[in-house]
């Protein structure tokens, strides 16, 4: 199973580059990798991110909604982690998402 030699590995790399107190979206990562249409893959990669040191809680959908919070241990763990970094999350919705948004294609 230790493939880690494909789209997934790159996704983990980008996710790990996300600065503290910042968030990004699946599409942004996918687009940076040159696969904007493969945004779904990014989310699937996050599914395995639990095996890596990837802060998946900093990765959300285009609307800043914590769609994958259900995949975390607790129900509000993802929100707790984001709030712990100074990010305001209400009802699984990140506030000021446009300000906290971290665009890899722009920052990198």
Partner DNA sequence: TCAATGACCTGCC
Partner DNA sequence: GGGCAGGCCATTG
Alpha carbons 15 and 79: distance in angstroms, whole number: 17
Give me the least distance between CB of 86 and DNA, in Å please: 19
Nearest-angstrom CA–CA distance, 71 and 84: 19
How far is it, in rounded angstroms, from Cα 39 to Cα 105? 15
Q: Smallest distance, Å, CB 62 to DNA?
A: 3
40: contact with DNA by CB under 7 A: yes
Give the residues lining the site for DNA (CB under 7 A).
1, 3, 6-8, 25-27, 30-31, 35-44, 46-47, 49-50, 56-57, 59, 61-63, 67-72, 78
């Amino acid at each position: 199973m230790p493939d880690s030699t494909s789209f997934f590995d790159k996704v983990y790399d980008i996710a790990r580059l996300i600065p503290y107190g910042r968030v990004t979206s699946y599409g942004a990562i996918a687009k940076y990798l040159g696969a904007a249409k493969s945004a779904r893959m990014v989310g699937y990669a996050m599914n395995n991110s639990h095996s890596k040191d990837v802060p998946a809680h900093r990765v959300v959908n285009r609307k800043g909604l914590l769609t994958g919070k259900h995949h975390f241990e607790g129900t509000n763990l993802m929100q707790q982690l984001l709030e712990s970094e100074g990010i305001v999350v209400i009802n699984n919705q990140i506030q000021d998402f446009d300000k906290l948004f971290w665009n890899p294609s722009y920052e990198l």
